[in-house]
Amino acid sequence: MVAVVAAVTPAVPLGYRQLGTQVAGHTFEASNAAAVGLLQDGRVFKPLGKPECGLREIQFYESLAAATSTIAAAAGDAGKAENAADNDLALLAALAEHVPRYYGQRKLVVNQREHTFLQLEDLTHGMAKPCVMDVKIGKRTWDPLSSPHKRAIEQQKYVMCKQNLGLCLPGFQVYQQEQPCGKTILIRHGRDYGKSLNVEGFHQALALFFNVQPAHANVPQLLREVLRQLHGIHSWFKRQRLLHFYASSLLICYDFDRLSNPSSQQNGYHHEPPVTPAIKPPDQWIRVRCIDFAHIFPAADAQPDENYMFGLQSLIDIVESMLQR
Ligand SMILES: Nc1ncnc2c1ncn2[C@@H]1O[C@H](COP(=O)(O)OP(=O)(O)OP(=O)(O)O)[C@@H](O)[C@H]1O
Ligand SMILES: [Mg+2]
């Protein structure tokens, strides 16, 4: 099996470790003790990064949490619930089911320095062999406050996929059964692989990620459930004119062990008891969520986020085409 994390050993508090399933984003660096990646302890801890990015991401999660509790409180009061139904709070609260659960901030000392982390649901929890793909959404991946230099850099990255599909692939990991020996191996690809892809290559990368070949019994179920969750996110974007998401990703996670063996009973998440009965519903072993909100902005002139919806629609089209093969 390929090593899951880079050979950097940061000094982290007892009980925490590097996020072994991290496939993209900022990571620990051997030569720079100030560079911090994601941690895990059953939940995921994301460092805040640059102050303006961290602030936007905290505000996003906090506003979702506030909207969710306001709407939940209103649900107990028939009159209020009716008034709240169409407003911005209800829309924000509806987004919560498409993002990782948020458990507040936590300060942790890493490499002798204190950092603030967002405490998030681990989207791979309960998965014995997590396959994880980070797909960045949108042709435009620079935000309205970016300098001309930053815009130019962003426009030159992942050009072929980004301009044609409004998608790019900063990283993924997938378990596969080697043929003909049947041994299970872990394959990991980073941003250099993603940057080398044209449209056809992007399709092939998705086919690899979804284990389309060799055929496993549950691949059609996997594709249908991914599509169902993608459609849920798309329908939220069609309704909303509040926010524009730049350089944000979809994280697609599923458990390789469920592809051919739906009754396997491993549950690696220590916050939850083992799930019974033996067969988990698909949304327990397949999760598609929006992540990375460091560049989220209020929608200019209350316009829909066409940039995001274009990329998301391409992804839906590609997954649909795999199902029809
Ligand atoms: N809630 C989560 N559950 C599981 N894995 C996660 C979660 N959030 C992030 N990850 C993993 O960490 C990676 C990086 O996350 P993210 O994109 O939020 O950070 P980043 O790109 O470093 O952030 P930024 O662009 O804000 O600096 C993802 O590609 C994914 O592998
Ligand atoms: Mg990211």
Say what percent of the chain tops pLDDT 90. 76
The CB of 143 under 6 Å from ligand 1? The reply is: no
Please answer whether residues 249 and 138 qualify as being in contact, where contact means their C-beta atoms are separated by less than 8 angstroms. Answer: no
Extents of the domains making up the chain: 1-122, 130-324
Identify which of 191, 120, 121 has the alpha carbon closest to the alpha carbon of residue 161.
191
The CB of 38 under 6 Å from ligand 1? The reply is: yes
Rounded to the nearest angstrom, the gap between the alpha carbon of residue 323 and the centroid of all alpha carbons in its chain is: 22
| CB-count exposure of residue 127 (10 Å: 0-12, 13-18, 19+) | buried
Please answer whether residues 55 and 63 qualify as being in contact, where contact means their C-beta atoms are separated by less than 8 angstroms. Answer: no
Q: Whose CA is nearest to atom 20 of ligand 1?
A: 25
Q: Tell how far the Cα of 19 is from the centroid of ligand 1, in angstroms.
A: 10
What is the model's pLDDT at position 82?
56
pLDDT exceeds cutoff 70 at 262: no
pLDDT band at residue 181 under the 50/70/90 scheme: confident
pLDDT band at residue 49 under the 50/70/90 scheme: confident
Q: Tell how far the Cα of 295 is from the centroid of ligand 2, in angstroms.
A: 10
Structure tokens at 234: 């798309």
Name the H helices within the chain: 51-75, 78-84, 88-95, 148-156, 159-165, 191-195, 199-209, 219-239, 257-260, 282-285, 306-324
pLDDT exceeds cutoff 80 at 154: yes
Which atom of ligand 1 is least distant from the CA of 293?
26
The string of pLDDT tens digits covering residues 268-296 is: 444 455 544 457 889 899 999 999 999 99
Please answer whether residues 120 and 21 qualify as being in contact, where contact means their C-beta atoms are separated by less than 8 angstroms. Answer: no
The string of pLDDT tens digits covering residues 1-12 is: 444 445 678 899
Which atom of ligand 1 is least distant from the CA of 24?
29
Residues with CB under 5 A from ligand 2 (ion): 25, 292
Q: Whose CA is nearest to atom 19 of ligand 1?
A: 25
3-state secondary structure of 45: strand
Q: What is the mean pLDDT of residues 110-134?
A: 96
pLDDT band at residue 179 under the 50/70/90 scheme: confident
Ligand nearest to the CA of 26: 1
What is the model's pLDDT at position 237?
98
List the CATH code of the domain at 130-324. Answer: 3.30.470.160
What is the model's pLDDT at position 7?
60
- Edge to edge, the sheet with strand 102-110 lists 17-18, 39-40, 44-47, 113-120, 102-110
Q: What is the mean pLDDT of residues 126-147?
A: 96
* φ and ψ at residue 109, rounded to 5 degrees: -95, 120
pLDDT exceeds cutoff 80 at 265: no
Q: Whose CA is nearest to atom 29 of ligand 1?
A: 24
The CB of 37 under 6 Å from ligand 1? The reply is: no
